[in-house]
Amino acid sequence: SHYHPALGLGHVINVGGRVPLGLKRKTLRVLVTGGAGFVGSHLVDRLMERGDSVIVVDNLFTGRKENLVHHFGNPRFELIRHDVVEPILLEVDQIYHLACPASPVHYKYNPVKTIKTNVVGTLNMLGLAKRVGARFLLTSTSEVYGDPLQHPQSETYWGNVNPIGVRSCYDEGKRTAETLSMDYHRGLGIEVRIARIFNTYGPRMCIDDGRVVSNFVAQALRKEPLTVYGDGKQTRSFQYVSDLVEGLMRLMEGDHVGPFNLGNPGEFTMLELAQVVQETIDPNAKIEFRPNTEDDPHKRKPDITKAKELLGWQPTISLRKGLPLMVEDFRQRIFGDHKDTTV
């Protein structure tokens, strides 16, 4: 694994100079909101491996206890079922704020709740960061660029977002979350970090959340046709989850606020993705065209120059290498083989 030496086990990490001299803290106390979800649970694995004390706050809307069950019983681990829209008092050194439904199916299910989670939830976690002097990392999204008029997208681009569309609860919610983070940083001196995450895939993705990678993989395994929306010529850039987690941890430990694009610049049309899935799982899988959804961005590809330069980070796992790594997990969950699926 690409282990970051600066984050290695046994280091005493002094966050923000708040540990009194001579009083070395053995373990870092880290809060991961949304830690029972897809990305969050992989992040928790890395933090636990590093020796941190980890608290997960999650309302289990799209997250699952199964994603964390291998940490149950470890005294350094705690799962709290809690909705970030409600205030909470905790004592921590770092906050990774991921809580938010991420797939269109889930965030459109209750759009007002999605906005509340992004706005009130983020406000609460920033209030918590302020009270205890913790460093705060927001997982924003490439969706802040909307249907981009700049390609590839760099962090300086302000985006092309519909404020009243069906995706706005998510896009505008995340934009407001970024604004809140910057205002707490500028006005109150809170240490914040902002990541703009591009499409990410891997084991533990929700199987029926409607995202294109999980759909295609599940469809190919079930011997169903792969559903390509629209003409399939729209593009996305797909990042394997371990690359993202590495980027998030480097961002948290580094000195730069961001925002930083975290994504894999490899760009694929949905038809090309379908082809990779065919090659990986079933060469005979059929393709079926469906009408596209409203406000679907035509293309998306990160410019990651800034993360390369300032975080020394870039993805290492290509789509063709990463896709096979999620197939076994999906196979086991779909066909009800009750072996441990949390690897």
Task: Give whichever of 67 and 215 is closer to ligand UDP, judged by the CB atom.
Answer: 215
Candidate list 96, 107, 145, 170, residue with the active-site label: 170
> Quick one: what does residue 34 bind among ligand UDP, ligand NAD, none, with the CB cut-off 5 to 8 Å set by partner type?
ligand NAD
CA distance 198 to 264: 8
Q: Which of ligand NAD, ligand UDP, none sits in contact with 46, Cβ below 5 to 8 A by type?
A: none
184 a catalytic residue: no
Cβ pair 205, 235 in contact under 8 A: no
Task: Please state the φ and ψ torsions of residue 240, each to the nearest 5 degrees.
Answer: -80, 145
Q: Does 220 bind ligand UDP (CB under 6 A)?
A: no
Residue 259 C-beta: closest distance to ligand UDP, Å: 18
- Alpha carbons 30 and 88: distance in angstroms, whole number: 15
85 binding partner (options ligand NAD, ligand UDP, none; Cβ < 5 to 8 Å by kind): ligand NAD
Position 277 contacts ligand UDP (CB under 6 A): no
Q: Which stretch binds ligand UDP (CB under 6 A): 6-14, 58-66, 224-232, 253-261?
A: 224-232
- Helical residues (DSSP H) of the chain, grouped into ranges: 38-50, 104-109, 111-116, 122-132, 168-188, 212-221, 241-253, 270-280, 305-311, 319-322, 324-334
Contacts to ligand NAD from residues 96-125, by CB under 6 A:
98-102, 117, 121
Judged by CB under 6 A, the number of residues near ligand UDP is 24
Strands (E) across 18-112 are located at 29-33, 53-58, 77-81, 94-97
Q: Does 227 bind ligand UDP (CB under 6 A)?
A: yes
Does position 237 interact with ligand NAD (CB under 6 A)? The reply is no
- Cβ atoms within 10 Å, residue 335: 9
Q: Please report whether residue 292 would count as binding ligand UDP according to CB under 6 A.
A: yes
Letters for 58-87 (x = contact with ligand NAD by CB under 6 A, - = none) are xxxxxx-------------------xxx--
Residues in contact with ligand UDP, shown as a per-residue x/- string from 59 to 98 under the rule CB under 6 A:
----------------------------xxx---------
DSSP string, 186-241: HHH---EEEEEE--EE-TT--TTS--HHHHHHHHHHTTPPEEEETTS--EEE-EEH
Q: How far apart are CA 198 and CA 193, in angstroms?
A: 16
Task: Convert residues 158-197 into a mask of x (bound to ligand UDP by CB under 6 A) and - (unbound).
Answer: ----------------------------------------
Binds 101: which of ligand NAD, ligand UDP, none (CB < 5-8 Å by kind): ligand NAD
3-class state of residue 308 by DSSP? helix
Residue holding tokens 């708040």? 18
124 binds ligand UDP (CB under 6 A): yes
Which amino acid appears at position 157 of this protein?
Answer: Y
CA distances from 203 to 37, 241, 249, 250, 314 (A): 11, 8, 19, 22, 20
218 touches, from ligand NAD, ligand UDP, none (C-beta below 5 to 8 Å by class): none
Burial 35-55 (b: 16+ CB within 10 A, else e): bbbbbbbbbbbbbbebebbbb
- CA 110/CA 225 separation, integer angstroms: 29
Q: Give backbone dihedrals phi and psi of 327, rounded to 5 degrees, phi first.
A: -70, -40
CB of 169 to ligand UDP, least distance (A): 13
| Torsion over CA: 127, 131, 132, 134 (sign) | positive
Contact positions vs ligand NAD (CB under 6 A): 33-34, 36-40, 58-63, 83-85, 98-102, 117, 121, 139, 141, 197, 199-200
Give catalytic residue positions.
170
Contact positions vs ligand UDP (CB under 6 A): 87-89, 104, 123-124, 127-128, 130-131, 199, 210-212, 215, 227-229, 234, 236, 270, 292-293, 296
